[in-house]
Amino acid sequence: MHDQREQPIRIFIVDDHPVVVAGLTSMLGTQSGMVVAGYASGGEEAVEMLRSRAVDLLLLDLRMPGMNGVDTLHALSRANIHIRTIILTSYETDEDIYRAVQAGAQGYLLKDALQADMVDAIWTVHAGKRYFPRHVAERLAERMTRSELTARELEVLHMLARGLTNKEIGAALDISGNTVRNHVNSIIEKLEVSDRTEAATSAIHRGIIEADH
């Protein structure tokens, strides 16, 4: 049987923090059977570089200026560039995990993961399997059972988080108060919360919306 280690895994790092890139490059450089084939500081740069570079696996940051990790995965797919990907991030909200997997990521690790876990994740994903730490897998499974919010419900949710009343939301979106109330009730049901205030705080906590909206 062919030994994977005969051909080093060519790893490409996408992260906007030079210290992270340097640390990963140094750490992976000590691993037998792995080589860092390049890096980019953002999604746009990564997509351009990967058009003409042979790479086996991406270590992709989730939150970067400009094109974030999920957008980068979508852009790579549109460009017909298919590379197995591990999200390497400081964030693990339900929505972050869910969006990354929906966009095609095969693994998800926090940046403070043990070196042994990172090496294990790289070999696992390179072999065509998925790698999710147990707590991440549990959060993903829980998120998968919840219904998607519609685009309009997300609009309403953003306005709820800003403290707008149903009347103000209706005026902003040019819809009736009854329609707003129906959207709010649907949001509360889908997020499995008890009221509009909890809907807003829960959505921020889960990463569905950001606090500064």
Q: Which CATH superfamily is domain 4-144 in?
A: Response regulator (3.40.50.2300)
Q: What is the CATH T-level fold of the domain 151-206, as seen in this structure?
A: Arc Repressor Mutant, subunit A (1.10.10)
Model confidence at 2: pLDDT above 80 = no
pTM: 0.69
Q: Measure CA 139 to chain center.
A: 13
Q: What is the mean pLDDT of residues 184-213?
A: 83
Instruction: Specify the pLDDT at position 55.
Output: 94
196: phi then psi, degrees, rounded to nearest 5:
-65, -35
Mean pLDDT of the chain: 88
pLDDT digits (tens, 9 = 90+) for 134-150: 888 887 777 776 668 88
Q: Lowest mean pLDDT: which of 26-35, 102-111, 145-154? A: 145-154
- 52 exposed, middle or buried (CB, 10 Å; 0-12, 13-18, 19+)? exposed
List the chain domain ranges.
4-144, 151-206
Alpha-helical (H) ranges within 84-173 are 94-102, 115-126, 134-144, 151-161, 166-173
DSSP state of 147: P
